Structure 1
Amino acid sequence: MRRRTFTATASVGAAAAAAAIAGGTLSASAGEHSESKKPDAYTWKNVVVNCGGFVPGIIFNETEPNLIYARTDVGGGYRWQEDTRTWKPLLDWVPRAKWGWQYVLSMATDPVEPDRAYAAVGGYTNDWDPNNGAVLYSDDRGETWGAFELPFKVGGNMPGRGMGERLVVNPADNAELYLGTSGGNGLWRSKDYGRTWAAVENFPNPGNFVIEPGNVILGDNQGVTWIDFDQIGGKIYVGVADPADPLYVSEDGGATWQAVPGAAEALGEVDGNRAFPNQSAVDDTNGYLYIATCHDPGPGNAPPASGNGGKIVRLATQTGEWTDVSPTYNPRGVIPGFGGITVDRQNPGTIMTVTRNNWYPDEIIYRSTDSGATWSLSWDYAEGEDRTDRFDMDITGSPWLTFNGTDQGPAYAVKHGWMMDALAIDPHDSDRIMWGTGATIWGTEELTKWDSQGELIGENEAGERVALPVEKFTVGVRAEGVEETAIIDLAALGGTLVSAVGDVCGFVHTDLDRAEPSIPTSWSMATSVDFAQAKPDVIVATGQGYYGNEKGHVAISTDRGKTWRKTGIEGLAGDRHPGIAVLTADGSRIVWSPSDTEVTPVYSTDLGETWTPVEGLPAGPEIHSDRVDASVLYAFSGGTFYRSTDGGATFTDTGATGLPAAGVEDFRVTPGKKGHIWLCGRSDKAEVATGLWHSKDGGTTWKKMPGVDLAIAVGFGKAAKRKGYPAIYTTATLGGQDGFFRSIDGGATWQRINDDAHQWGFAGAVITGDPEIYGRVYLSARGLMYGDIVD
């Protein structure tokens, strides 16, 4: 257990180290770029998507208006900026060696000293994340952080990450914090503002609920799920993932703990499934603790796993009386599981909750203004499945939220959401609410209009259910500044940036500061993108559909991404194996390498209308085309490098030796340089060679670049000098320094172009330069980042 301090500002020492690594560095002069002693400084921005991933927590400070934090499962933590209505990222400094610290399980904001903020971080509780988790602490609202490294792992991207909050500040003694953990590690406590932590030894129950024993993801004991405080009686309540003993209380400041009588019976069973406490909310005016229950930790399971079976129960904290206040009606015809729950601090009898993975046709937000005695719904059916809603969804700024769908009866293309565990009414403003989904943050500042709308559905004289007139309010995107898409591949055409993205397919950006619609396919994710070097209007992409049910794995655009046509052979790659497709330099041929280990590559001479098996390659190799010679393509698999000189019809082993047999995640071909290839090697195994290799003869002979300890990805951009070698960008480790590096002299010298404030954990698995703007680099990070040289 160690304590470390990190700042979100590059130190002088780090800058000096970067300069030493750089060797030759660059400066602008007379429209070109020449050697200079001073390294280029870079400025960094996101290519705008606006979120694109799961937001499991939104936390309002109880005492200071407009102080709000949001946590994401893979994209760091954020603080709201009221003046611009955007979110500021707080964890961009996380280094590669601690990449899991960008995965935030819980956040807390101090109600007594609002400058203090905290985050529980860590990627996985299995061996995917080599590091233990940590509790980060800040005295300046997340501008700088210290870290206490825990002696166990934390699962910021594991099942149950939407439960909580698991990290809380005691409002009666703000030096004291509690942390609920999974994996049987129990309840932990700090008494010095998060600087040091220790297990609460006398806490009696570490939880026992496991979704699927032995499963690498689903086998984690969900443990202690949340901590909440009764400020009337000074009690501390702790929810535990144990259906037989789900709730504990301390009445003496955490010195002793007891099971709350009647809790298991109150949470009870729904559809034969025992429930456990998912989230809580306290009404300190009326003396109620509300608990939202489910029988699966979520966030993404389909009914009945988490879509059916749950309750809203209310405990009178002064008398111990339990009351079932669950909504009794769901248009889908079942009692759902419940996700987020929140109390209006200005009107404590008002509470709201939301279904967990109701899925079809949408989630339901419930609102009660009488402490749960009655509930109204965000939408309902009239006769048949005619749907009426309380609010309109405004996707201005995030047009991709249609997911290329259209309204299908009651199933709208733009949904209230899914995986809705984050739900929070502003404690200072009853009109403001925000909720997180699997894709974005929604919000409104007109919430109380709900209460004047009355019922959505009535009966006519014939006794039929009919829609009643409702004056709707508007709910809009509140995710600007949050970026967490998973970038899988990039193609920079010059003025157009095409991305292949997990979960939201991909984008064609012609304006980096504007969110675009997603590539118009029914894919849930794109896995590769390429363009014809001599005809950049021709683009090819591969992708897969939701749950692997989309067989058209290849799509073509001939107008620079404005329109797309899907192609592919039905079932050729089976389910979920779209792999990679590339175009020859003149755009006349496509070679497609599905990632299925039993399907060998195919090629097409008619832009995907028909396909022919490739000869000479194993299944699943990485393939790229020569960027000059349209007849030449290259492939790599298992230490063997292949070349084709007939447009991909046949490949032969180049006979190259000395390349790593494993750990190669990327090789790329230099534009404008026939036969120039760069290959990256990284591995955790000592016996596997790592580094960066360069070939100038089409992959026959290779030179390992000196000083490069390992390389993850490589790409190219505009040369520093007219007729110079294209700028090379690589995610690598040079001289023991992790970072993103640029070379303008064919790899002879390198400059680190990022600093310690801009590391983004395990970033840069995809990297490329811009062909028209010298110095501009694009890379996968917290979403899609791009850097420019500071003028």
Structure 2
Amino acid sequence: MRRRTFTASLGAAAVAAAAVPSAAHAKTRGHCEDAYTWRNAVVNGGGYVPGIVFNETEADLIYARTDIGGLYRWQEPTQTWKPLLDWVGWDDWGWTGVVSVATDPVEPHRVYAAVGTYTNDWDPANGAVIRSEDRGETWEAAELPFKQGGNMPGRGMGERLAVDPHDNAQVYLGTPNGNGLWRSQDHGRNWSRAEAFPNAGNFVQDPSGEYSDDNQGVIWIDFDQDGRVFVGVADPDDPLYVSADRGATWQPVPGAAAALGTADGNRTIPKQAAFDHENGHLFIVTGWDPGPYNGAPASGRGGSIQRLSLATGEWTDVTPAYNPIGAIPGFGGLTVDRRRPGTLMAATQNNWWPDEIVYRSTDSGATWQTSWDYVWDANWSWPPERTDRFTMDSTGSEWLSFGGADDGPAYAVKHGWMIDALAIDPHDSDRIMWGTGATIWGTERLTEWDAQGALVGWDDAAGHQIALPIEPFTVAVRVEGLEETAVQDIAAIGGTLVSATGDLGGFVHTDVDRVGTQIRHPNWTSGRGVDFAALEPDVVVGTGDVEGETAGHVGVSTDRGATWLTTTRLDGVAGGANGGTVAVGADGSVIVWSPGDGSTAPVFSTDLGQTWTPVDGLPAGALVRADRTDPNRLYAFAAGTVYASANGGLAFTATGATGLPAEGPVDLRAVPGRRGHLWLAGGKADAAYGMWRSTDGGRKWKRVRDFDEADAVGFGKARGRHGYPAIYTSAKADGQRGIWRSTDEGRTWDRVNDDAHQWAWTGKAISGDPQVYGRVYIATNGRGLICGDIED
């Protein structure tokens, strides 16, 4: 990562030559004759969508932001999302964490995004505000002298970016950690701190950790029709400010501290706001923490909904009085219906069991209805039944059940969790979308809610509650085209693609254009590694992190990923982030697993993981791999040392190789059909870092001098019938990062991607396809599993 210095007022720095270039191929030697097309292996979502923003003046212009996977624009004709930040390169990987998005209500072709993933040292680079004048097709950037937190606590609050509808050259940005309110007066080209703004915020919900200790700072900016600018601040003592002179001076809003700064004795902050201009109301949801993870405080109530009369300055607490499960733990999203004054909706946050609640009011918050309710029998038996206003249709994303089944009122397919993105279409009262930790839900039948009436009544004769007859409408998946998984490993088997993914475990694809099947047994919280037996490819193994499970971390399939067997938990290795790495011998007879706890030495199994025996000769944490031709040969790597086994993984010995990376992550892979052929990529900057190859089982290694840096390596079908497998790598050659391919055993390399398709960080895993020449699979950290094919 490069570090930068800045002055107080920042000029624009061009990104991707000010406009994303058309496809162009670089090379280290020779000429690349192949142009590539790119798409995702379809999962549909798979990550947190903290913001959905509709343009106020142009119908069907909608943006969705993600916490690590970039920004998307809605395509109405296909009902899909289009990725807009695939041009972000390796050095600026943090720009795929989108803190906020603002779409210009005056000139809808203009759009802005505040980017930067972490405010701590996980991301050493600063953030930026990027801007586009063609709805996100091309971008320029103004880099900032501080960090932003697209994947930090509070990322669902806001929006922190806002375009002044009375003068759209004025764009505001709220920032964390004492950096205050910033403003551009030239459509985002130059930025400077709004020195007149008096409060940079001081609220830190949990100062105990390097991730949870963010000062949330300036949270959101919004505009009244009379030109006043309102700003929400993470300071319970002074949470709301207003300017009546376009930001020249600012005053605290009277009564705001009492209304927004406390809730049942908890110190709270204004998380989101929405104007009802027709009725002269500003609605604000508050919370005792920024979200999106924490539950309610000890008092049970974690926030409120407040209404400010813009004419009189009067505050009214309009918090819903009813939650089927007790106290409302807190609120996430808030939205108003621009076409139906007085109609607003809000979503609970961390109402973990049995489900989140979406609230709707048509009388400015005086009364509320819930999206679902309990129905109790005469004996108040537990659990009660549940009745719903709408049904959740997960068709096309069946994995959203997470392998579960309905359990009383706890449905397998839920309204969601972490619902901060909640938006009614300002042009269509029937359309709403909301984002969750996994997907986007939506409907075009929203106003049917208002005709349904109450969900629950009372049977006087029977003396108990009854569900009143209503006609539920349907809420369905609206996330197609948005791919947000963080892929950890790839196994490309003939006709089958198996991937390990963060948070979701893993997926099996038999057709990359259709949603894959989620790996559910074992129940990995995050998948870490996958492998298959090269001579018996129906045998597939994987490993992942598990929580609260008695089964082992390793999963085994004997039918190419169609079904999975759980394995025995290894003594001494608890649940949690201990997935490590796993390898299966070429004939499927032995599995070698290296736990990820850092203290347990690798083990092997000859009975599909039912029993485990310690491996001789390997240190804890070693990376394990299998030869793709010889069942007796397996390999391992740890701290610069290569190990080899000639007896099927029972024992390993160091090969004596030198000159390999002793620090930093590495990717070691064995070549299909070539006994003893190994390639290694990885290392650490300012140390050994690059690519090496061995043809004798790891005893001698030769550095591939083409690459200054390399991080992942894999293989696919050879160009010729009897040629060496095509080699693919995510690497840096002659100062240029890219996805490279060699068809001549590494003598020459061609860059197969282009500047418009970089996907930020791609260093985890890469693989070619064993049956389709030129096809490459690329693991990304938040843009899913990318598939590239040679253009027809």
Using the size of structure 2 for normalisation, the TM-score is 0.96
Letter in 1 for 2:373: D
Deviation of the 1:550 alpha carbon: 5.5
- Residues 111-131 of structure 1: CA deviation (Å, up to 9, x unaligned): 000000000000111111121
Residue identity opposite 1:488 in structure 2 = Q
Equivalent positions of 1:239-638 (< 5 A) are 239-304=232-297, 308-383=301-376, 384=381, 385-461=384-460, 462-521=462-521, 522-546=523-547, 549=549, 551-576=551-576, 577-638=578-639
Partners in 2 of 1:318 and 1:760 — Cα distance? 48
Q: How does 1:131-146 map to 2 (within 5 A)?
A: 131-146=125-140
Following superposition, the deviation at residue 215 of structure 1 comes to 1.9
C-alpha distance in structure 2 between counterparts of 1:751 and 1:557, whole Å: 36
- For 2:490 and 2:550, how far apart are their aligned partners in 1? 22
SS of corresponding position for 1:6: coil
* Gap change, CA 1:447 and 1:571, over 3 Å in 2: farther
TM-aligned CA deviation for residue 765 of structure 1: 1.9
Flag as ranges the 4+ runs of structure 1 deviating above 6 A.
Answer: none
Residues 551 and 570 in structure 1, CA contact (< 8 A), matched pair in contact too: no
* Residue 701 (structure 2) pairs with residue 702 (structure 1): yes
Rounded Cα–Cα distance in structure 2 between residues aligned with 1:152 and 1:549: 41
Residue segments in structure 1 that go unaligned for 5+ positions in a row: 25-36
1:213 to 185, 198, 207: 207
State the alpha-carbon separation in 1 of the partners of residues 199 and 550 from structure 2: 45
Q: Give the deviation of 1:621 after TM superposition.
A: 0.6
1:23 counterpart letter in structure 2: R
Structure 2 CA distance for aligned equivalents of residues 228 and 2 of structure 1: 25
Greater alpha carbon shift after TM alignment, 263-272 vs 82-91: 263-272
Cα distance in 2 between the residues matched to 1:283 and 1:473: 26
Q: Distance in 2 between matches of 1:554 and 1:474?
A: 38
**1:334 Cα deviation from its structure 2 partner:** 0.6
Q: Which amino acid aligns with 1:281?
A: A
Measured after TM superposition, the shift of residue 740 of structure 1 is 0.5
Corresponding letter in the other structure for 1:600: A
Aligned AA (2:180): G
Distance across 1 between alignment mates of 2:306 and 2:328: 14
CA distance in 2 between counterparts of 1:45 and 1:540 reads: 26
| 2:518 alignment partner AA | S
CA distance in structure 1 between the aligned counterparts of 2:640 and 2:345, rounded to whole angstroms: 57
Shift of 1:10: 5.9
Q: Is 1:50 equivalent to 2:49 in the alignment? A: no
Structure 2 Cα separation of the partners of residues 696 and 302 of structure 1: 55
User: By how many angstroms is 1:749 displaced?
Assistant: 0.5
CA contact (8 A) 2:645 2:652 kept: yes
| Distance change (3 Å), C-alpha of 1:341 and 1:105 | same
Per-residue deviation at 1:516? Answer: 2.5
Contact 1:544-1:550 at 8 Å conserved across structures? no
1:127 maps to 121
Please say if residues 243 and 249 of structure 2, whose CA atoms lie closer than 8 Å, have aligned partners that are also in contact: yes
Amino acid at match of 1:527: R
Structure 1 residues 188 and 692, CA gap change in structure 2 (3 angstroms):
same
Give 2:644's aligned residue.
643
Which of 224, 227, 232 matches 1:234? 227
Is the CA contact (8 Å cut-off) linking 2:664 and 2:684 kept in structure 1? yes
Q: 1:200-233 CA distances to partner (integer Å, 9 max, x unpaired)?
A: 10111100011222521111100011111111x3
Mapping of residues 721-760 of structure 1, within 5 Å: 721-760=720-759
Give the superposition deviation at 1:538.
Answer: 0.6
1:5 counterpart SS class: coil
Q: CA deviation at 1:84?
A: 0.3
* Shift of residue 106, structure 1, vs aligned partner: 0.2
Shift of 1:764: 4.2
Q: Is the 8 A contact 1:693 1:702 kept in 2?
A: yes
Once residues 4 and 459 of structure 1 are traced to their aligned partners in structure 2, the CA distance between those partners, rounded to angstroms, is 65
Whole-Å separation in 2 of the counterparts to 1:757 and 1:299: 32
Instruction: Tell me the equivalent position of 1:31.
Output: none
* Deviation (angstroms), 1:132: 0.7
Q: Please state how far the C-alpha of 1:280 moved relative to its aligned partner.
A: 0.4
Stretch moving more, 407-416 or 211-220: 211-220
Rounded Cα–Cα distance in structure 2 between residues aligned with 1:708 and 1:359: 49
Separation in 2, partners of 1:273, 1:648: 58
Query: What one-letter code is carried by the residue in structure 2 that aligns with 1:332?
Result: I
Aligned to 1:147: 141
CA distance in 2, matches of 1:353, 1:347: 16
Deviations 1:458-515 (A, max 9, x none): 1111542221111100000000010110100110001100011111111110111111
Aligned to 2:552, the other structure's residue is in SS state coil
Residue 49 of structure 2 contacts residue 67 of structure 2 at CA under 8 Å; is this kept in 1? Answer: yes
Deviation at 1:302, TM superposition (A): 3.4
Give the superposition deviation at 1:669. Answer: 0.6
Answering whether residue 13 of structure 2 is matched by residue 4 of structure 1, we say yes
After superposition, what is the alpha-carbon deviation per residue over 1:241-283, rounded to whole angstroms, capped at 9, x for unaligned?
Answer: 1111111111111111011111111125335321110000000
Is this contact kept in 1: 2:32–2:750, CA < 8 A?
no
**For the structure 1 residues 307 and 524, does the alpha-carbon distance in structure 2 shift closer, same or farther, using more than 3 Å as the test?**
farther
Residue 80 of structure 1: aligned partner: 74
Listed as ranges, the gaps of 5+ residues in structure 2 are: 1-9
93-102 or 658-667, which deviates more: 658-667
Secondary structure at the counterpart of residue 245 of structure 1: coil
Write the letter of the residue equivalent to 1:659: L
Structure 2 counterpart of 1:668 = 669
Aligned residues: 771
- Who is 1:33 aligned against? none
Q: Retained in 1: the 8 A contact 2:296–2:302?
A: no
> Residue 450 of structure 1 aligns to a residue in which SS?
helix
Q: Helix, strand or coil: the match of 2:100?
A: strand
CA distance in 2, matches of 1:306, 1:421: 22
Does the aligned pair in 2 maintain the 1:58–1:434 contact within 8 Å? yes
* Partner residue, 2:765: 766
Tell me if the contact between 1:307 and 1:355 (Cα under 8 Å) persists in the aligned partners: no
Aligned residues of 1:398 and 1:517 also touching (Cα < 8 A): no
Matching of residue 101 in structure 1 with residue 95 in structure 2: yes
Tell me the SS of whatever aligns to 2:94.
helix
TM-score, normalised by the number of residues in structure 1: 0.96
Match of residue 34 from structure 1: none
Q: Does structure 1 residue 70 correspond to structure 2 residue 64?
A: yes
Q: Percent identity?
A: 63
Q: Relative to structure 1, is the Cα distance of residues 470 and 242 closer, same or farther in structure 2, using a 3 angstrom cutoff?
A: same
Tell me, yes or no, if the aligned pair for 1:306 and 1:357 is still in contact at 8 Å: no
RMSD in angstroms over aligned alpha carbons? Answer: 1.5
Q: Secondary structure at the match of 1:563?
A: coil
Distance in 1 separating the partners of 2:387 and 2:111: 41
SS of aligned partner of 2:406: coil
Q: Deviations over 1:436-473 (max 9, x none)?
A: 00000000000000001110111111542221111100
For 2:386, the aligned partner's letter is: R
In 1, the alpha carbon distance for the partners of 2:545 and 2:299 equals: 25
d(CA) in 2 for partners of 1:2 and 1:159? 29
Separation in structure 2 between the aligned mates of residue 89 and residue 353 of structure 1, nearest angstrom? 28
Show CA shifts across 1:742-780 (max 9, x none): 001111110000000000111242100000000000011
Shift of 1:674: 0.6
Partners of 2:196 and 2:247 within 8 A in 1? no
